[in-house]
Structure 1
Amino acid sequence: MTTHDRPREIARRSLLVAAGGAALAGPLLSAATPTAHAAAGGLPLTIVNNSGDFKNSSVHVYIVGTRNGRQVRVNRAGKAVPLALADNRAGGFTDYAIPLAAKGETRLSLPRMSGRIYVSLGGRLKLRVVRDGDGRPALQTPAGWVASDPNYPVLHDCAEFTYNADGMFCNTTMVDMFSVPMSLQLTGRGRHTTGAVREGGRKAVFAALRRREAFDRLVVRDLRAVAPGHGLDAGRFPGDYYGPYIDQVWQRYTRQNLTVRTDAGTFTGRVRDGKLTFHGPATLTFDRPTTRDILFCDGSLFAPNDGLRGPVAAALGAGFNRSVLLRAGAQPTTGAAAFYRTPVTNHYAKAIHSVVNNGKAYGFAFDDVGDFATYIQDNAPRRLRLTITPF
């Protein structure tokens, strides 16, 4: 059983994202096995453009993140270069793009750091260096769900990683949006592949959402499908979508117990005075969540990395998104056949999971409950391969 109090799982959700542009915060992922060691120096990274729709000359790569507490970008030589306000050029944007090789595969190198690998197709990204709250240089990264963002009309997407002395920890992510189908192959002690979308899968996701009321407005032309949480904030998704389901859950567990199994033990909860209160290894109280809390796995469902509240909040968040809380009074539910079976559910996550070859996707922040996320790791990595797969 996979429970939700592992450091890397909670760390994935602690990424700080600001509307209208994200200032990168790290780490995105944290190591899970402190006794293992990765090879010193850069990790070979191969970028493969199998999109079929874009030539190598139309594809650009950006590697940005944090290293030793400073925000950095990676240059063509594989060196982590600290950000500077002077990096902003004419028009107020940087030029951190790494072009692909003229033909075939592009071979790069990843220094030890936490960050994102962005790819843009058909146009360059407009990234700006600003000062953060402490006056240090920070990067405004793309927010494809914000119409006023300068990168809104640009086709782009990203993968996330942490490469440190304990190994490589990485994933493709659809938590914010789904745009460019990509897969990761990590080779080390083992060979790990994730994120591969079946042929025609991108179009299938867009079509499934366009057919579903409330989700149809999440598709932005042929550029991307925006996650419903961001759609809610942008006025493209109803703020009370989960209301009827929340009512049913609260009514059910006023009459009977809800149990959540974690590594710390089993928590047993009931709704009392409008709050869901659990007893067990600790006493935990959850306010009635809103639709936004569910979609962002935040607010009343915030999951601290404490091994107690965090795992319970994660199981509840996954249960709401997958709409399984009324199927069983024992959570987490780990049988995928039970997921997304009700009319009120996260149809965005459902659509994405349906087109990924191994059924794993990061459709919402608690999608790693039960090990359904596109997360892979190796404690002795030798190389990483990112492939832009056919559209």
Structure 2
Amino acid sequence: MTPRHHRPLGRRKLLTAFGGAVVAAPAVAAVAPQALAGTGTGADSDASAPEAGGALPLTIVNSTGSFGNADVHVYIVGNQDGRQVRVAPDGTAVPVALSDNGADGYTDYAIGLADSGATTLSLPYLSGRIYVSLGAKLKFKAVTDGNGNPALRYPAGWVASDPDYGVLHDCAEFTYNPAGMFCNTTMVDMFSVPLSIRLTGAKEQITGTLRPGGRAAVFEAVRQVPEFAPLVVDDRRVIAPGHGLDAGLFPEDYLAPYIDEVWSAYTGRDLTVTTNAGTFTGRVRGDRLTFDGPAQVSFARPSTRDVLFCDGALAAPNDGTTGPVAAVLGAGFNRSTLLSSAAQPTTDAASFYRTALTNHYARAVHAATQDGKAYGFAFDDVADFASYVQDTAPTGIRLTLTAF
């Protein structure tokens, strides 16, 4: 499989991924990139690949061991042909309407599970998310977007004032279209409910499965680092540090010493970044990290927030040059490998998160998974370390709520 940081790096934000139609909750959810990008339309697509059929079987399995099927609620929401839709229990994509809001001001798009055992649903072509909530329903709100079209406000579990802050919930992300199924489990915004994906088609692929006791291990690992400890919200969720920074729960200058070290180190020596476009060679010149190679690309010194969100100074335009280099730099900062290796991307997972100043949240979620893959930050797909799978001829997808 082509390393995903070599692919076109479009649609790294929910707003863009859903065609600009989403109205976000208090903060826009940053979506793990390739669940919504690897749709076979870029330079790496295979024109001869078979088209996926419609109405893909989706199986939901409740293996939490802590909640009965009656306590689990499923929501499938997203974008279809530029419209905000939700999937009904019969597999139909239904456009969002303001009239869907009930007397309490919120929609009820919940799909219940079967009384026992697995629940089989039907997934139409769609780019979106599968939310699960445990013990209570989520409060999606139909609103009008900036263009006057019906849209949805999504849960923002990292915002204390959000109506769903007290609800135990999580989601997986996907794009399913004629090119295939592209999906992931994500911890980019937060980690709460352990989810596993099994995608069948040309082959069987499983990702996202936690080790036994993995959920508790994530909570404990994050609690052990003083700067990260406030990100743990009871036994409900762990908030990603970028959102924690915005909420005043995480130091806004946490990574500044490491960032300064990187800038100092590459003032006097070269840093190389290899992408599908070729090898870029850079040095800090006039406080900008400037690369020569297939094209000249340049980056201002990023802030801690830029690193955690892989945005701002590390934003990745879909241009085939600056975008892929930004992705590799973002991964290098989060994994704290930029000082240990002057050739990026680093592909040895044993070298990740080895410094005191690192993304300990991402470290914890990776350590908890059986395959070592997770979406702990937006560029975690660099060198193929994200909990992402794809198939150009899918026959079914299973989402399992695994044991707490």
Partner of 2:39: 31
Residue 96 (structure 1) aligned with residue 105 (structure 2): no
Residues 175 and 126 (structure 1), Cα distance of their counterparts in 2 relative to 1, 3 Å cut: same
> Residue 29 of structure 1 contacts residue 114 of structure 1 at CA under 8 Å; is this kept in 2?
no
Deviation at 1:383, TM superposition (A): 0.6
Residue 296 (structure 1) aligned with residue 345 (structure 2): no
Residues 187 and 354 (structure 1), Cα distance of their counterparts in 2 relative to 1, 3 Å cut: same
Using structure 2 for the length normalisation, give the TM-score. Answer: 0.94
Deviation at 1:307, TM superposition (A): 1.0
Q: How does 1:299-318 map to 2 (within 5 A)?
A: 299-318=312-331
Partner of 2:76: 63
Q: Aligned partners of 2:38 and 2:349: how far apart in 1?
A: 26
> Residue 13 of structure 2 contacts residue 29 of structure 2 at CA under 8 Å; is this kept in 1?
no
Residues 22 and 266 (structure 1), Cα distance of their counterparts in 2 relative to 1, 3 Å cut: closer
When structure 1 is superposed on structure 2, of 73-82 and 274-283 the one drifting more is 274-283
Partner of 1:50: 63
Partner of 1:377: 390
Partner of 1:252: 265
Superposed CA deviations along residues 208-265 of structure 1, whole A, max 9, x for unmatched, are: 1111010000000111000000000000000000010011001000111111111111
Residues 65 and 24 (structure 1), Cα distance of their counterparts in 2 relative to 1, 3 Å cut: farther
Using structure 1 for the length normalisation, give the TM-score. Answer: 0.97
Partner of 1:242: 255
Deviation at 1:99, TM superposition (A): 0.4
Partner of 2:230: 217
Q: How does 1:269-348 map to 2 (within 5 A)?
A: 269-348=282-361
Q: Aligned partners of 1:199 and 1:144: how far apart in 2?
A: 25
Q: Quick one: which amino acid aligns to residue 7 of structure 2?
A: R
Q: Quick one: which amino acid aligns to residue 114 of structure 1?
A: S
Partner of 2:3: 2
When structure 1 is superposed on structure 2, of 266-275 and 356-365 the one drifting more is 266-275
Q: Aligned partners of 2:37 and 2:93: how far apart in 1?
A: 18
Partner of 2:206: 193
> Residue 324 of structure 1 contacts residue 339 of structure 1 at CA under 8 Å; is this kept in 2?
yes
Partner of 2:135: 122
Q: Quick one: which amino acid aligns to residue 11 of structure 1?
A: G
Partner of 2:125: 112
> Residue 56 of structure 1 contacts residue 103 of structure 1 at CA under 8 Å; is this kept in 2?
yes
Deviation at 1:390, TM superposition (A): 0.2
Partner of 1:133: 146
Q: Quick one: which amino acid aligns to residue 221 of structure 2?
A: A
Q: Is the partner of 1:109 in helix, strand or coil?
A: strand
Q: Aligned partners of 1:80 and 1:123: how far apart in 2?
A: 24
Residues 357 and 382 (structure 1), Cα distance of their counterparts in 2 relative to 1, 3 Å cut: same
Q: Aligned partners of 2:225 and 2:53: how far apart in 1?
A: 49
Q: Quick one: which amino acid aligns to residue 296 of structure 2?
A: T
Q: Aligned partners of 1:378 and 1:108: how far apart in 2?
A: 19
Deviation at 1:23, TM superposition (A): 8.4
Q: Aligned partners of 1:52 and 1:170: how far apart in 2?
A: 25
Partner of 1:20: 26
Residue 390 (structure 1) aligned with residue 396 (structure 2): no
Matched residues, percent identical? 64
Q: Is the partner of 1:354 in helix, strand or coil?
A: helix
Residues 39 and 238 (structure 1), Cα distance of their counterparts in 2 relative to 1, 3 Å cut: same
The number of residues matched between the two structures is: 389
> Residue 36 of structure 2 contacts residue 182 of structure 2 at CA under 8 Å; is this kept in 1?
no
Q: Aligned partners of 2:128 and 2:297: how far apart in 1?
A: 33
Ranges of 4+ aligned residues in structure 1 off by more than 4 Å: 21-27
> Residue 214 of structure 2 contacts residue 369 of structure 2 at CA under 8 Å; is this kept in 1?
yes
Deviation at 1:18, TM superposition (A): 4.1
Q: Aligned partners of 2:180 and 2:154: how far apart in 1?
A: 25
Partner of 2:19: none
Deviation at 1:38, TM superposition (A): 3.5
Partner of 2:186: 173
Q: Is the partner of 2:362 in helix, strand or coil?
A: helix
Residue 268 (structure 1) aligned with residue 281 (structure 2): yes
Q: Aligned partners of 1:146 and 1:14: how far apart in 2?
A: 18
Deviation at 1:39, TM superposition (A): 3.7
Partner of 2:374: 361
Residues 23 and 79 (structure 1), Cα distance of their counterparts in 2 relative to 1, 3 Å cut: farther
Deviation at 1:11, TM superposition (A): 3.3
Residues 380 and 66 (structure 1), Cα distance of their counterparts in 2 relative to 1, 3 Å cut: same
Aligned alpha-carbon RMSD (Å): 1.6
> Residue 199 of structure 2 contacts residue 206 of structure 2 at CA under 8 Å; is this kept in 1?
yes
Q: Aligned partners of 2:265 and 2:249: how far apart in 1?
A: 30
Q: Aligned partners of 1:266 and 1:70: how far apart in 2?
A: 40
Q: Aligned partners of 1:358 and 1:181: how far apart in 2?
A: 14
Provide structure 2 residue ranges, at least 5 long, that are not aligned to the other structure.
16-22
Deviation at 1:3, TM superposition (A): 5.9
Q: Quick one: which amino acid aligns to residue 351 of structure 2?
A: A
